[in-house]
Amino acid sequence: MKTVFNIVLALCAVGLVYICYGSIMGPINFDKVQDAREKEIIARLIDIRKAQVEWRQLHEGKYTADFDSLIDFVKTAKLPFVKKEGSLTDAQLEAGMTEKKAMKIIEKAKKTGNWKEVEKEGLMNFKRDTMWVSVLDTIYPAGFNPDSLKYVPFGNGAIFEMATRSDTTKSGAPLNLFQAQTPYETYMSDLDKQLLINLKDVQTKLGKYCGLRVGDIESPNNNAGNWE
């Protein structure tokens, strides 16, 4: 009987150790997995932000809420790149010369073949040539797959939520905003349910979004991510 009691006691002790170990390591492992997954998701959100910034340059300051359009833009669009040679001197600037005026003088000389004014203004070595470069090759590393932009890493095929807003400020200035986001459930639903509930509870009490987001359509934030 004593032997049986000792065995039961030993099993209880082992069980208690296991429970204590789990209570300590559970949150630690949860945090490790969360950090590892969120690094990849943040990188993807930054890629989306890069594409949106370039889209805005060529679409009258507006963003897009359509991933297919954004991905096609990354694959096919080209951006203006100005190759610069020479610069205006202090004396030229003080005399009222600007880059725009300088280029008008040079363009006129190219059309007429008369370079006297260019020489007079000291612009012989001043050049501004516009080249068009691929969006894909400009803002992303070699081998980047644009089709991956819309998918949430560890989301089992889930797509980021994306929205835009076009409005005006009180002063009448145009206001264009965008956001892309994904909730915790999308990429952490396979982890400890109670720890996920606890995480969401903390975020909610702090008035924060329960997940990862870049940009904000409610409040201008210069397209910052909520991890920054």
Task: Give, in order, the Cα–Cα distances in Å from 145 to each of 34, 74, 75, 174.
Answer: 24, 10, 9, 33
Give tens-digit pLDDT for 185-198: 999 999 999 999 99
Nearest C-alpha neighbor of 214 from the set 85, 95, 71, 42: 42
Q: Residue 11, SS3?
A: helix
Give tens-digit pLDDT for 35-81: 999 999 999 999 999 999 999 999 999 999 999 999 999 999 998 88
Structure tokens of 44? Answer: 């993807």
User: What pTM value is reported for the model?
Assistant: 0.76
- The pLDDT, as a whole number, for residue 128 is 87
Strand 127-134 and strand 78-85: pairing?
Answer: antiparallel
- The pLDDT, as a whole number, for residue 130 is 83
Task: Write 23-32 long-range contacts (CB < 8 A, 24+).
Answer: 26/192, 26/195, 27/195, 30/191, 30/192, 30/195
